[in-house]
Amino acid sequence: MNRRDFLRRSAAVGAGGLVLSNQAMEVRVGSRRPNIVFILADDFGWRDVSYDVGYGHSGSSYYETPNIDKLAAAGMRFTDAYAACPVCSPTRASIMTGKHPARIHLTDWINGHNRPDAKLTIPDWTHYMRLEEVTIAEALKAAGYTTGHVGKWHLGDDPVYWPENQGFDVNKGGWKAGSPGGSGGYFVPYGNPRLQDGPPGEYLTDRLGVEAAGFIEQNKDRPFFLYMAHYAVHTPLMAKKDIIDKYKAKPSTPEHNNATYAAMIQSMDEAVGRIMDKLEELKIADDTIVFFMSDNGGLLGKTSNAPLRGGKAQAYEGGIREPMIIKWPGVVKPGSLCSEPVISTDFYPTILEMVSLPAKPKQHIDGVSLVPLLRQKGSLNRDAIYWHYPHYHPLNPYGPFGAIRKGRWKLIEYYEDMNVELYNLEDDLGEQNDLAQVQPARRDELRDLLRAWRQSVNAQMPSPNPNYTG
């Protein structure tokens, strides 16, 4: 047994994990656990779908997402679903580990930004997902699942941290890059060591859909976990000409008017459709649970998250609130709606409970199973959810921050001056009316909770920059 395998096995046992024998696997697979398909979009905003997003707001009338809409109609839509971070890598780590990015010190996209002239010096954070973490893929693989990763990984530059070393049997396209890195961008040549180039003119999003469908086809007779993590709709904005032309000819809206971005969304939606069609074709749709989520808010300047304020990299709702759907045949009522706040750390314990595996409370310590919500039999009884982003980002003019949401109330604390803002999201979804001075008791309560939480997870804080001159 090599060191990585030893660390993983030790971590699994230490986290209350269950390593099944081959015989136990065969017995359990004989009764067939459900398949899991997890679809993660990149930089896909709350209003980038065309279905009704809730709170009296329709989706986009410019973008077209018929396959995602169909998935929503067959499952449960979450109106208050959050990414654990307003940028990609930390949210992806939270899904894989069930831990908050602040706890594992992976708090920015890899490799992040640095501003040596800023007021604060960012902490010495971790630029990869540690192998000691027992990923959801490893937990499912130990229970007999075949595991496949298709698309973006972005959880470490060194290949030792890539999907094949984090519990995935198959890796198509996952490596260090956070966006298409080849000379062709979204078109061949991809320049991706984990994805062979296709024929000239092939489009990456299409190809990933084909790879995902192929994985399903190859594993249709055994339980599988497919993590379909799109590069789309991350920049560079590149799409197929015929689809761009379609949107150029279509009436736009003040919020949504970028034809290339709309075309990228359509191709991503078509890839979702390819997966769903393959499940139907193989007659395993009723045996498959499907998740859909985005890793952070939409990129301002390319799309609009209105009525939400802000976008990617920011503490406001536009940076962290995501479209989210769960389809669980035979359990989730089709077309149902949930407005209880949930966050990306919740997926790990949810999946374990869905497939009748024991919880790993020391591993997914920051997640809560969503099964009561999915069964519509109670609430989560969670006190609050939190964010911690001790970094600077060109898309965030406000600087490093922390945030907490407790019920209808949300508080943001900016670390440069420790100034706080307080919003009542029930009355002010767009965060336009700062109540920090009007509601001092509420402000102080949430600020104290946020600071106590940071201490409890050993969150790294930025420090005064001795080279800052103002």
Active site amino acids: 88, 154
Residue 278, CB-side half-sphere exposure with 13 Å CA sphere: 21
Query: In this structure, are residues 403 and 412 in contact, taking their beta carbons and an 8 Å threshold?
Result: yes
**Amino acid code (one letter) for 79:** T
**Amino acid code (one letter) for 456:** S
Query: Could you report how far apart the first and last alpha carbons of the chain are, in Å?
Result: 54
Residue 214 φ then ψ, to 5°: -65, -40
Q: Could you write out the DSSP letters of every residue in 63-90?
A: S--HHHHHHHHHSEEEEEEE-SSSSHHH
Round to whole Å and give the CA distance between 53 and 60: 9
* HEC secondary structure over 396-445: ECCCCEEEEEECCEEEEEECCCCEEEEEECCCCCCCCCCCCCCCHHHHHH
Query: In this structure, are residues 109 and 88 in contact, taking their beta carbons and an 8 Å threshold?
Result: yes
Residue 69 φ then ψ, to 5°: -60, -40
**Amino acid code (one letter) for 59:** G
Q: In 15-115, which residue ranges form alpha helices assigned H by DSSP? A: 22-30, 66-74, 88-97, 101-104
Query: In this structure, are residues 208 and 228 in contact, taking their beta carbons and an 8 Å threshold?
Result: yes
Structure tokens at 284: 């395993």
